[in-house]
Structure 1
């Protein structure tokens, strides 16, 4: 066992605050990133959970929640492309929801095809809920919005509600279809049209979706469709392009995204400073022990290697503890339906930042070590 590990094992209580500091910094960073990604991920929940490979939107749309009408007959134009195996329309309409208390709640109605294999059927509804929407005047809501919409989320969905003055009934409660921008209520396109006052709405759609043949390159098809579409009628996106553009818009151009990103960066800087100072104080607290090593002839370079190795072990152990804590936070977030999402890249970055901060703090403390003289033992 190396000298660094022997010291860590023997005097672990002294190093415990430094380890917890490294772990705290990583947890703070990952929780902030997870909440940020989870929040913006809810904006694109429709694109991310539907099976469509291509999306047509109005030309000015920069985020999926900013839907504007386009001609519904563009679905036939999409289907004429040899790589397209199916196309559908997807309708979104703002509405007023009234539960048992009569309090109006603004919602967004999502008119989909009541077929589990449809392009517009979200993954969370494919088991049974899409088929249930074939019943006239039936709707599905997400469990995360159940309290706000006065709908029980315990499976007892025999609830009658009022939407735009029409009575409908809830036939199911989904999970994982929450959106930060609005409250989605799912129903069939036929049920949605029965709620519309404007009769010309049947000729328009919020989106047109398309599925591609296996092996087709979505970006190539998008380029070819842009040439086929009438000028100014619509814009074609791949699913990933629309999802990414929507999240970038919320992050860069909405006040919510800028404020949340600022708090994330500020929290990370504070955590790094606290970690650095904690580790440096631990090293400086060992100066008398290192002075004893200097007195028996151990060169400063070897003592410096011991300090750096100690810092690396503290950073690695703190990173492992960070992963355990973040896993627990993720489970709690899912339990309380808080949007939380982490990617492997973010976890690796947090681990690396914690490790580098620990090693860097050890390197900063070497200046005091090189100034150290054996006479320190006499003080």
Structure 2
């Protein structure tokens, strides 16, 4: 029986796609476009938030001590340096250190001024506050007056290794360029604690205060438990203790709520998906209407509408699958271009899979919507 032949569903769907690929191309591109739109926006959003928490995410210390009112890592307020010695009294703390952030004015050799944030690190490769991407640069900051900037900010600051500049009227020398330490909210200039003290020589209280106290815990210790122990040790009115993951997560959530970017991303993504669904549905509907005579012939041969519907649904699934593959290649190319241009862009495997699933579901859903034209086919009307 013809109704039992497998080519009526699977093979026919693939053969039609291959033979009439130009007819299906707009639908494939619409699925790919929707996924690219969603992933590019997601990549830019997560990349931007990643620059907000770049210090937290790149510094290996598992515990952070901040001012009690801190809601995000970019909201800094001074706390006593003596807290570093206090948290070392916990047996699970192997080492502690301080991390200071100070606003300053950068003046390049050509006279250009830029507002920057000084980040004072310990000039040791294994220090708890040395970021992972700067393991080779941290020891280079030991020399007084030495600074490092991220490569993506070098042109704006007029900074190259060996060049001189001024920070608040004090001469400094650029000794290195880092990678992956860009912040969207400010321009980081990395230096040592000693150099920062020299730059703040007129502030008598500066040496007694810092922005963060960081702790590195012993292997096998639970960061959450140690955090809770330190919260009992430190007065609530003086400081607040965070795990690294908690501070990073809460900082991103704070920016998501306060900046309004999250609502804009949700709106634009939803709009893009709706446009893709409409375009894909219309493309598939046009394809089906263009093939009504062929479907009428199959129905006249005794092929039930249910079997023909499977052909349409499988065509939609193939369109979604091919569109997803195209989307992945385009987004990977966009990510490479963004990295080359120093644009913050984060692409995760989970995001790729979710976007692919949405694209496939969009195509199949559009195919189901397009079935109305198939069910209205009357062979006698088309074969007269």
How would you bin the TM-score normalised by the shorter chain? over 0.9
Q: Counterpart in 2 of 1:12?
A: 21
Displacement of 1:25 in angstroms is 1.1
Q: 1:82 to 1:277 in 2, by over 3 A?
A: farther
Aligned to 2:245: 240
1:257 Cα offset (Å): 4.6
- CA 1:59 to 1:278, structure 2 compared with 1: closer, same or farther past 3 Å? farther
Alignment-derived partner of residue 206 in structure 1:
211
CA RMSD in angstroms, aligned pairs only: 1.5
Q: Give 1:201 deviation, angstroms.
A: 1.1
**Secondary structure of the equivalent of 2:315?**
helix
Q: Which residue is equivalent to 2:40? A: 31
Counterpart CA distance in 2 for 1:5 and 1:47 is: 50
Aligned to 1:163: 167
Unaligned runs of 5+ in 1: none
Cα deviation for residue 260 of structure 1 reads: 4.4
CA contact (8 A) 2:288 2:373 kept: no
Corresponding residue pairs, total: 374
Question: Counterpart of 2:213 in 1: which secondary structure?
Answer: strand
Counterpart residue number, 2:356: 351
The 5-angstrom pairing of residues 282-293 of structure 1 reads 282-293=287-298
User: Could you say which residue in structure 2 is the equivalent of 1:143?
Assistant: 151
Distance 1:82 1:35 in 2: 41
For residues 317-370 of structure 1, the C-alpha deviation after alignment (integer angstroms, 9 at most, x for no partner) is 111111111111111111111100022221111000100000001111112211
8 Å Cα contact 1:87/1:208 also seen in 2: yes
Would the aligned equivalents of 2:79 and 2:212 in 1 still touch at CA under 8 Å? yes
Q: Relative to structure 1, is the Cα distance of residues 234 and 269 closer, same or farther in structure 2, using a 3 angstrom cutoff?
A: farther
Normalised to the residue count of structure 2, the TM-score between the two structures is 0.94
CA–CA distance in 2 between the matches of 1:211 and 1:277? 58
User: Separation in 2 of the partners of 1:264 and 1:107?
Assistant: 34
Q: Is the 8 A contact 1:94 1:107 kept in 2?
A: yes
- Runs of 4+ residues over 6 Å off in structure 1: none
Gap change, CA 1:273 and 1:56, over 3 Å in 2: farther
> In structure 2, the residue corresponding to 1:208 is in which secondary structure?
strand
* Counterpart residue number, 1:101: 110
Contact persistence 1:283–1:362 (CA under 8 A): no
SS of alignment partner, residue 340 of structure 1: coil
Q: Distance in 1 between matches of 2:30 and 2:222?
A: 47
Which runs of structure 2 are paired with 1:293-312 in the superposition (5 Å)? 293-312=298-317
1:240 aligned counterpart, secondary structure:
helix
Assess, with a 3 A threshold, how the Cα gap between structure 1 residues 183 and 260 changes in structure 2: closer, same or farther: farther
Q: 1:182 aligns with which of 181, 186, 206?
A: 186
Give the deviation of 1:122 after TM superposition: 1.0
Q: CA deviation at 1:135?
A: 0.6
Distance 2:291 2:182 in 1: 52
Does structure 2 retain, via aligned residues, the 8 Å contact 1:46–1:122? yes
Cα distance in structure 2, aligned partners of 1:65 and 1:123: 19
**Counterpart of 2:328?**
323
**Aligned mates of 1:249, 1:167 — CA distance in 2:** 36
**1:36–1:261: 8 Å Cα contact kept in structure 2?**
no
Per-residue deviation, 1:269: 3.3
Distance in structure 2 (CA, Å) of the matches to 1:215 and 1:192: 35
Q: Is the 8 A contact 1:284 1:365 kept in 2?
A: no
Structure 1 window deviating more from structure 2 (334-343 vs 261-270): it is 261-270
For normalisation by structure 1, the TM-score amounts to 0.95
Question: Counterpart of 1:199 in 2: which secondary structure?
Answer: coil
1:334 corresponds to:
339
